[in-house]
Structure 1
């Protein structure tokens, strides 16, 4: 548990202790999942964020939420089995369903409006790249890596080094997904539709932003809570 924090505290450590600070980091485009192993000051400098304002905003959120943090903090003390089951039920399964439901809307908006909104063709391209990457990624987790993690816990894994290499591969895939989401946010001007956008257009941008938020928490649980236990 963090007793104190400072500009040199790692982003992931602060989010682990005070999950609502994730909203502050997200608002200034500081990556708290894939880039979580970075001191707050370094992350702020890299993003051109005023460190004084950032620390003040973090302090305000922490003061308001102290004593009520459970969404993520609870997982730092949970068994890996419990975290894995939670990730599958709360992130993998909903992710598959969301890709199934959202894809027709993304296709429709790009087809109808892409002629005069060229950024929508890029949104289409990035979305389907993300969909392919993430569906393959969660399948690999469930079929290969999560069973290996359970074996690591039970001390029954045949090749520990190979298992750890699989985990490292997942982290690289997380980085790639994070890069796609960052580009989606940039190309959509922070998921802000134009003033004359139709309802479906607005729906796509809103759900893409929600998909980003869910993916960030999903990756944070793995990169910063589950995976470090084995290195």
Structure 2
């Protein structure tokens, strides 16, 4: 999709919902006033359109998932895999949480009376946002540093390592339990949202919110897979080798 000042905002968002966040940050209403051109909206906001168009084009040129389809994650060294999860998935979650919360707040306010399930979806996502933020911090401050410490010890030829929490299996069990909780929470969100299909009377923000929730769940599933099925089992085996 080539984007210019003449593109209709609502049509751009309809073709790729990720562009909604760009308009949101610029203070441009892509929902009720989505019938304007990008040029007209930028002129009304008294902002230049060149940088905004460049940001929009960069988004639509990247794949929706943002993931490599050929990456063999099981071949990654453990410390590199921990870095990948932190830089890719943790950063994605941190960036998307405020965007999705903003969308949900708006559609609950506008459509909540007719669609009471939206309030439930928002409550589930707010809880998920709080728990995932704490979850990621525990990984970044406790579990991942210890995994990197084990990798370094092996590279240096050391046969012993101090374990501050008894065994690496203790934080891993906690992380896997939290994965189960968030997986179940998103199953509820998916059900309440009719499999992320917005109703016929939905506005652009409504559609963007559901599309963003769906992508968020897909990223969460990959995040959980990388940890539960690759990082955690290998970390346990590495610890047992000392």
Cα distance in 2 for partners of 1:190, 1:157 equals 47
How far does residue 116 in structure 1 lie from its aligned partner after superposition? 1.1
Write the mapping of 1:179-218 to structure 2, written as runs, cut at 5 A. 179-218=184-223
Q: Which moved more, 1:154-163 or 1:119-128?
A: 154-163
Give secondary structure in 1 for the equivalent of 2:180: helix
Larger Rg: 2
Cα distance in 1 for partners of 2:116, 2:75 equals 47
Matched, 1:83 2:81: yes
How far does residue 69 in structure 1 lie from its aligned partner after superposition? 6.0
Give secondary structure in 2 for the equivalent of 1:102: helix
1:157 to 1:75, Cα distance in 2 relative to 1, 3 A = farther
Among residues 95, 98, 101, which one is paired with 2:96 in the alignment? Answer: 98
Match of 2:174? 169
Cα distance in 1 for partners of 2:175, 2:222 equals 15
Q: Give the gaps of 5 or more residues in structure 2.
A: 1-67, 154-159, 238-242
Matched, 1:222 2:195: no
How far does residue 163 in structure 1 lie from its aligned partner after superposition? 2.6
Cα distance in 2 for partners of 1:158, 1:198 equals 53
Structure 1 residue ranges, 4+ long, deviating more than 6 angstroms after superposition? none
1:69 to 1:162, Cα distance in 2 relative to 1, 3 A = same
Match of 1:150? 148
Whether the 8 Å CA contact 1:185–1:191 is kept in 2: the answer is yes
Whether the 8 Å CA contact 1:151–1:157 is kept in 2: the answer is no
Whether the 8 Å CA contact 2:101–2:122 is kept in 1: the answer is no
Normalising by structure 1, we get a TM-score of 0.67
Normalising by structure 2, we get a TM-score of 0.64
Cα distance in 1 for partners of 2:149, 2:162 equals 5
Cα distance in 2 for partners of 1:221, 1:198 equals 35
Give secondary structure in 2 for the equivalent of 1:214: helix
Give secondary structure in 2 for the equivalent of 1:197: coil
User: What do residues 157-198 of structure 1 show as CA deviations (whole Å, max 9, x unaligned)?
Assistant: 334634320111000000001001111111111001101100
Match of 2:118? 120
Q: Give the gaps of 5 or more residues in structure 1.
A: 1-67
Give secondary structure in 1 for the equivalent of 2:120: helix
How far does residue 100 in structure 1 lie from its aligned partner after superposition? 2.0
Whether the 8 Å CA contact 2:124–2:185 is kept in 1: the answer is yes
Q: Which moved more, 1:219-228 or 1:105-114?
A: 105-114
Match of 1:70? 70
How far does residue 103 in structure 1 lie from its aligned partner after superposition? 1.3
